[in-house]
């Protein structure tokens, strides 16, 4: 099975594009969803988070207060690294299990949807990488609209990731999502057709294929 990394910048449209791939029969393993499952009540990771950050990052019902934890970790890179040291090993394990299951089911192709693909250095483990791209001002607008964040929170989140332009420059395939969402379906069709025809890693120094 070939495993294709799918990434982007925050709010560039990665999840929207992943849904289109799923609708076309391609399995997508979602790191954000696995990261959420890893910190559900009763998990060792949530207990560790409470020990590290204190009860103020828990809600009254014992679940993680994501807003409170986000305020802490996106304001302080050191706190973010402490959180990642707890969550990333759990997410990596869950991702590996999910990919092994898909391989055992005989899928020829699977996507690995993870926002921090380049930040944590997963490139070498993947057969190719797709970056869903949008310009920074569009990213900012979508983030404010979707998550109701103010400008300072948006900038803190953007600063926690590599710029999406840098990711696009390193990618094998770039999905341009600056335009209308309706344009994405055709791009998903073309990407899948190219991947199923065996297209993969670009040659060294060649530019990415853009859709």
Ligand X SMILES: Nc1ncnc2c1ncn2[C@@H]1O[C@H](COP(=O)(O)OP(=O)(O)OP(=O)(O)O)[C@@H](O)[C@H]1O
Ligand Y SMILES: CC(C)(COP(=O)(O)OP(=O)(O)OC[C@H]1O[C@@H](n2cnc3c(N)ncnc32)[C@H](O)[C@@H]1O)[C@@H](O)C(=O)NCCC(=O)NCCS
Binding-site residues from annotation: 11-16
Q: Residue 86 and residue 82: Cα distance in Å, rounded?
A: 7
Residue (160 or 209) nearer to ligand Y, CB: 160
* Residue 188 DSSP SS3: helix
The 8-class DSSP code of residue 63 comes to: S
Residue 43: contacted member of ligand Y, ligand X, none (CB under 5 to 8 Å, by partner type): none
Q: Are 2 and 111 in contact (CB under 8 A)?
A: no
The residue assigned the tokens 């998550």 is 147
Neighbours of 99 (CB within 10 A): 19
Contact pattern from residue 62 through residue 101 relative to ligand X, giving x for each residue in contact according to CB under 6 A and a dash for the rest: ----------------------------------------
The candidate with the shortest Cα–Cα distance to 25, out of 132, 100, 110, is 110
- Using CB under 6 A as the binding rule, whether residue 5 contacts ligand X is answered as no
Q: Is 31 in the site for ligand Y (CB under 6 A)?
A: yes
**Binder of residue 70, out of ligand Y, ligand X, none (CB less than 5 to 8 A by kind):** ligand Y
Binding mask 82-101 for ligand Y (x = CB under 6 A): -xx--x---x----------
In which residue are the tokens 């103010």 written?
150
Which residue ranges make up the site for ligand Y (CB under 6 A)?
A: 10, 31-32, 35, 66, 69-70, 73, 80, 83-84, 87, 91, 114-116, 157, 160-161
């Amino acid at each position: 099975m070939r495993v294709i990394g799918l990434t982007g910048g925050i709010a560039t449209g990665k999840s929207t594009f992943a849904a289109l791939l799923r609708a076309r029969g391609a399995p997508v393993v979602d790191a954000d969803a696995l990261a959420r499952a890893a910190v559900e009540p009763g998990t060792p990771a949530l207990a560790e988070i409470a020990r590290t950050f204190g009860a103020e990052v828990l809600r009254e019902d014992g679940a993680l207060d994501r807003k409170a934890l986000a305020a802490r970790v996106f304001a302080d890179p050191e706190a973010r690294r402490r959180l990642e040291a707890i969550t990333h090993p759990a997410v990596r394990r869950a991702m590996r299990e999910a990919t092994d299951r898909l391989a055992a089911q005989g899928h020829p192709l699977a996507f690995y949807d993870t926002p921090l693909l380049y930040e944590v250095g997963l490139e070498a483990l993947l057969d190719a990488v797709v970056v869903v791209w949008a310009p920074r001002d569009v990213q900012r607008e979508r983030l404010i609209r979707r998550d109701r964040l103010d400008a300072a929170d948006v900038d803190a989140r953007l600063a926690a990731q590599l710029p999406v332009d840098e990711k696009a420059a390193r990618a094998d395939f770039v999905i341009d999502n600056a335009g209308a969402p309706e344009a994405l379906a055709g791009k998903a069709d073309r990407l899948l057709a190219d991947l199923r025809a065996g297209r993969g890693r670009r040659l060294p120094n060649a530019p990415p294929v853009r859709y």
